[in-house]
Amino acid sequence: MEALLLGAGLVLGAYVLIYYNLVKAPPCGGIGSLRGRTAVVTGSNSGIGKMTALELARRGARVVLACRSRERGEAAAFDLRQESENNEVIFMALDLASLASVRAFATAFLRSEPRLDILIHNAGISSCGRTRETFNLLLRVNHIGPFLLTHLLLPRLKTCAPSRVVVVSSAAHQRGHLDFTRLDRPVVGWQQELRAYADSKLANVLFARELATQLEGTGVTCYAAHPGPVNSELFLRHVPGWLHPLLRPLAWLVLRAPKGGAQTPLYCALQEGIEPLSGRYFANCHVEEVLPAARDDRIAQRLWEASMRLAGLRPGENDEPDEELQPEDPGAPCSPNTPHPEEPTASEPFPGPRNSPDLSKVTHRIQVKTEPEPQ
């Protein structure tokens, strides 16, 4: 009996150590009030995205939930308005698998919203499911769609600088390898899906790196964020139903709740003083070094050029604001106190990483506030 109790105690102690050192996420600090600022969070009707949007709304931001499902997006917007006591949470339709939908969202947003301060690319898929496309669906949803959306919204981000772009990536990027001869080929079978997912997450890291280089001196900074091991819908979405009862308890024990997964993206979006780390990769609310493949500037630039082609972008497209897409009554478009135009209904449609700074010179500027978690 004593041996049994000792064994149980050792197992429990090991679990506590693992949980608090590897699973539990540090709370996000950063800017306290976001009143007068606007944020777009993709894939925010559930999981990490919803918890991210909730925290932004609680801090007073106007939050646009960019989601594919109208029903779930509108329901999430209603929930978040109730929980945050912030009525400026709205839904706008966005399907990242469709480049036409991405362009339609950007057009609608630019016409209705005078500000954009924070853009968080949270939406993503880990499998194609039963969908069969003539292109690489995982790369399209996880990278090409966000790449196009960022490009189309850049004029507004620049005029509202300082502003930030956060790309939610994954530690799976370490297994990625970009083959430019078959970058957009259809993915068939679970083995190809695993590789394509890792490749798309590597693309996220390289995209944030090259975007930081492209935007150096504009006041727009960008970061790749790893949310950690999270118990979200993505975890069980493509697992056979009969395995769910077995995996759910395990996931509850060893994976973070979505609220914990949202902390690093929030840190990248809100933490003051990390501008010199634009283009870097963050995990557990601090910058982490990546493997050589994820900091290869030649590959990052090549990916940028390939992404331009796959997104159907022409060189120079949308480098300057389009006057036709300005809000009807913009006022002072990027004054934090600018009133928003009539809210669209839900039914309508920071220096570059190539010269990464000495962390010892900027560490003193980065202070994580240990406030109680607000949720």
Residue 229, both tokens: 């091991």
The span from the CA of 333 to the CA of 111, in Å, is 12
Burial 219-233 (b: 16+ CB within 10 A, else e): ebbbbbbbbbbbbbe
Q: Which position has the token pair 């996220």?
A: 204
What are 283's two structure tokens?
A: 């995990």
> Which amino acid makes up residue 341?
P
- Please say if 267 is a catalytic residue: no
How far CA 309 is from CA of 17, 92, 178, 202, in Å, comes to: 47, 26, 16, 18
The two tokens of residue 78 are: 């209603």
Token pair 């478009």 is found at 333
Instruction: In whole angstroms, give the CA distance from residue 1 to residue 299.
Output: 60
> Tokens 């995205």 sit at which residue?
49
Cα–Cα distance, 41 to 46 (Å, whole number)? 11
Q: Which of 198, 352, 226, 350 is nearest to 289 (CA)?
A: 226
In this structure, which amino acid lies at residue 292? P
| Maximal C-alpha separation, the chain | 78
Catalytic residue among 15, 197, 223, 267: 197
**Shortest CA distance to 77 belongs to which of 49, 118, 97, 35?**
49
How far is 126 from 154, CA to CA, in rounded Å? 27
Q: Which residues are catalytic?
A: 197
